[in-house]
Structure 1
Amino acid sequence: MKFGKTLLATTALLATSCLAQAETRVTYKSAKSTSSYYQMGVQIAEAMKAGTNGDIIVTVEESQGSVQNVMEVKGRGADYVFTTPPSLVSLAQGGKAMFKDKGHVKFADIRALFPIPSLTMHFVMSSKSGVTDFAGMEGKSVLLGKGSFGAREGAKYLKLFGLEDKIKLAEVEISNAVPALKNGQIDGFVTSGSWPAPNVVEAAASTDVHILSLSDDQIKQTKRTKLVIPAGTYAGQDTAVNTTSLPVVAFTTTAMDEATAYTLTKTFWEQKAKMGAGAPWWNGVNKELMSNIPGKLHAGAVKYYKEAGFELTENQM
């Protein structure tokens, strides 16, 4: 009897050990827990678990920002996946801007896996304001918010388009933008985020709004990536909106093995439609966003993209 119990215990231990070995754990560093990008990380974690039958388990970590995500490459290992704009990776690898004098040999090992929803600029004006273009914003009360990418980018655009000091900057928290717009406290607000942006969805559903479209010349002045928000994305939006975006990508490093990178990339694209059914911002991710990745992809990701018929550039391989 003792031998039988010992045999059973040993068998159970071996089974548990094999299961542990079969299971791959990945850390996904995203954004602040209150942001839409953290929610995306949770959705990716759920998609990876479902798409691999639990073979890959993703743990989502909160982050204070994209720069921190890149900097942590220095001390992370093969299980590290993080999100950041490709432009920051380029700066890190070149030791420029916020990475000046903070370079590290591991930055050269950063590799892309797949694109996620871009940070998309929205200039939302109430229909009552009568504003249909940027020139019409003069003299109006506009909420930019503070400290965010959208606030900094919005301020830059107002200066570029000759509106600096010509509008009234509202002293309202960006979290209160929708009620402030609805009650007439402000004429409009500027926000960035994946599209459809939750606060813009809420604003369009609760009051009549007009989302400003940028001309090709204005987009060129911003030096950002053009993005088209399709007609019908928001309530009352009858035409497409031309705006700008900051691409965001999921990265890892060459420390990750090829098989794991391959499975992560393959599962992401195979699960994307299901994610989009529950969270529409995933519907804006398509093959065209691959062109927003200027640097190298992980070898495992390259393997999947070649199998799936994606067109890659020489720089990406």
Structure 2
Amino acid sequence: MKNLLKSLALVSVAATLATSVSAQERITYKSAKTTSSYYQMGVQIAEAMQAGTDGGVVVTVEESQGSVQNVMEVRARGGDYVFTTPPALVGLAQGGKAMFEGKGDPSFDTIRALFPIPSLTMHFVMSADSGVETFEDLEGKTILLGSGSFGAREGEKYLGLFGLEGKVTLADSELSNAVSALKNGQIDGFVTAGSYPAPNVIEAAASTGVRVLSLSDEQVAATKRTPLTIPAGTYAGQDADISTTSLPVVAYTTTAMSDDTAYLLTKTFWEQKSELGSAAAWWNGISPDMISNITTAIHPGAIRYYEEVGAPLTDAHR
């Protein structure tokens, strides 16, 4: 009898553990390189999901080589896959255009959005000693764009759009050297794109006086990018709002994810956003208004949450 009771107890414990494990949602979150701020965001989201669900959601963050890879992996992933990418890339994948030409796949049509994360935000950072206050003042100055990044490509595009091509000296150096080069007077400024407040801009503003240039409404329109305002006080010495541009970034999954899981992830993200913002200021720039930056379909589970809280949705989201 004693052995029977012991066996039943062991069965009960095993059943409890099995129920506990099966009740846990395990998610793979693919973001960016480990050195990127977006990888740090992934880690923060993982912590927020675990805290907000009392361990009910366990997120494993995977390193990625970039947004294109994240989208391409949809072809081989299941319902536990969450990834980050700009909405524009999803549109290109679904249309088989640009870098996705000849690489189309039916799985791309199953991609659905969950929630926005901090946008890639353009910063034209000039030293106070340079005397540069507007883009017109950049003529004859030396700036560092870096190479290969979104910020470098976008910065070069803006110089052309604003009539500065060939009128600005481009420093031949990596963006990682920007702050030290600015301090040493080797450059007058640098261009960077990242979530704000950007760590390299914080460092530059704290160690030497800088001005982050503001774009006019006409200049913003010419870039065809999403307008974004960096609030006054974001950086040391910044006493006014900065009008600039951004590339929205969104957390996506596919229709392979259940509605209940998508609902839980979306609900937990928004309910934990305040805590996220306390830990890292870049989350404070996220608001329900940024749902309008999602130009692709939203997962039905996420839509259920947005309808519950009265968030703005469009026909394209459904």
Whole-Å separation in 2 of the counterparts to 1:248 and 1:278: 20
Q: 2:271 — aligned with what?
A: 270
2:280 pairs with 1:279: yes
Give the C-alpha shift of residue 246 in structure 1: 0.1
TM-score, with structure 2 as normaliser: 0.98
Whole-Å separation in 1 of the counterparts to 2:267 and 2:93: 27
RMSD: 0.8
Q: Any idea what the Cα deviations from partners look like across 1:128-166, whole Å, max 9, x if unmatched? A: 000011111111110101111101111111111111121
Whole-Å separation in 1 of the counterparts to 2:165 and 2:3: 83
2:237 pairs with 1:236: yes
Structure 1 stretches of 5 or more lacking a match?
none
Give the C-alpha shift of residue 175 in structure 1: 1.1
Q: 1:48 — aligned with what?
A: 49
Q: Any idea what the Cα deviations from partners look like across 1:74-133, whole Å, max 9, x if unmatched? A: 010000000000000001111111111100001111100000000000000001000011
Task: State the aligned residue count.
Answer: 317
The residue type paired with residue 124 of structure 2 is F
Q: 1:186 — aligned with what?
A: 187
The residue type paired with residue 240 of structure 1 is D
Correspondences of 1:141-156 after superposition (within 5 Å): 141-156=142-157
Correspondences of 1:161-180 after superposition (within 5 Å): 161-180=162-181
Whole-Å separation in 1 of the counterparts to 2:14 and 2:110: 37
Give the C-alpha shift of residue 239 in structure 1: 0.8
Contact 2:289 2:312 in 1 (8 A): no
Secondary structure in 1 aligned to 2:120? strand
Q: Any idea what the Cα deviations from partners look like across 1:194-215, whole Å, max 9, x if unmatched? A: 0111110111111110110111
The residue type paired with residue 40 of structure 1 is M
Whole-Å separation in 2 of the counterparts to 1:311 and 1:276: 22
2:18 pairs with 1:14: no
Give the C-alpha shift of residue 249 in structure 1: 0.3
Structure 2 stretches of 5 or more lacking a match?
none
Q: 1:290 — aligned with what?
A: 291
The residue type paired with residue 4 of structure 2 is F
Give the C-alpha shift of residue 254 in structure 1: 0.5
Give the C-alpha shift of residue 59 in structure 1: 0.5
Contact 2:87 2:249 in 1 (8 A): yes
Q: 2:256 — aligned with what?
A: 255
Secondary structure in 2 aligned to 1:73? helix
Of 162-171 and 53-62, deviating more is 162-171
How high is the sequence identity, in percent, across the aligned residues? Answer: 66
Give the C-alpha shift of residue 279 in structure 1: 0.1
Give the C-alpha shift of residue 6 in structure 1: 1.7
Secondary structure in 1 aligned to 2:190? strand
Contact 2:292 2:312 in 1 (8 A): no
Whole-Å separation in 1 of the counterparts to 2:294 and 2:114: 10
TM-score, with structure 1 as normaliser: 0.99
